[in-house]
Chain A
Amino acid sequence: EAGVAQSPRYKIIEKRQSVAFWCNPISGHATLYWYQQILGQGPKLLIQFQNNGVVDDSQLPKDRFSAERLKGVDSTLKIQPAKLEDSAVYLCASSRGRAVNNEQFFGPGTRLTVL
């Protein structure tokens, strides 16, 4: 079974620029997550989708971050405009159902550097 795919793997931008990340979850997984992992910290959930509906986006900075999951499969996460503090690894994960009862499978992440 193919794992969670993410692209790009690395991105370097200047502050105030825009950036987008793409995630393709494991086939058949209804739940998709985007996490932000700042160096030295645990992943922080930004947004959780169940199919193409949002379950939780309470920690998503909505003034600059947006995410969508078209047709309940692939997802994109966008930052516009980027700030220095957005430098982090952005992890996408998917699971068959709720995270505490179903294993989350993570992609390799996109490492974003904002200069």
Chain B
Amino acid sequence: GQQLNQSPQSMFIQEGEDVSMNCTSSSIFNTWLWYKQDPGEGPVLLIALYKAGELTSNGRLTAQFGITRKDSFLNISASIPSDVGIYFCFMEYGNKLVFGAGTILRVKS
């Protein structure tokens, strides 16, 4: 099945630092979505990307759809304690819906 590789697997950063994570695939996609999961909750959609090269912001979050259509980056600026959670990339491959393994973010205040 299609694999989505997320890196890093986990991050432990100081409050106020910027964060960067990415998701890569061996296949080309037309859409990249980023979700965040808080402990004990279901994932929540953060950002959706629909065009190669697209750069989209949502508050302190910025995501980019790679020009090759095989990768995507998510950046968080000036991290705060509530940014703690697991960040997943997600897309549709054929008719299959696939989540990456996630990047765990921990923030030291």
Contacts and interface: CB of A to CB of B under 8 A. Distances in A.
A106 interface: yes
A100 B95 contact: no
Interface in B13-63: 30-31, 33, 40-45, 48
Q: Which interface residue of B30, B40, B43 has the most chain A CB atoms within 10 A?
A: B43
B51 to A, nearest CB: 13
Interface residue tally of chain B, by bracket? 20 to 34
B44 to A, nearest CB: 7
Interface residue tally of chain A, by bracket? 20 to 34
A40 B45 CA distance: 19
Contacts of B45: 103-104
B101 A108 contact: no
Given A42-B99, A42-B100, A43-B99, A106 B92 contact: no
Closest 7 CB pairs of A and B: A106-B42, A42-B99, A100-B31, A100-B92, A103-B45, A45-B97, A43-B99
Interface of B: 4, 30-31, 33, 40-45, 48, 88, 90-92, 95-102
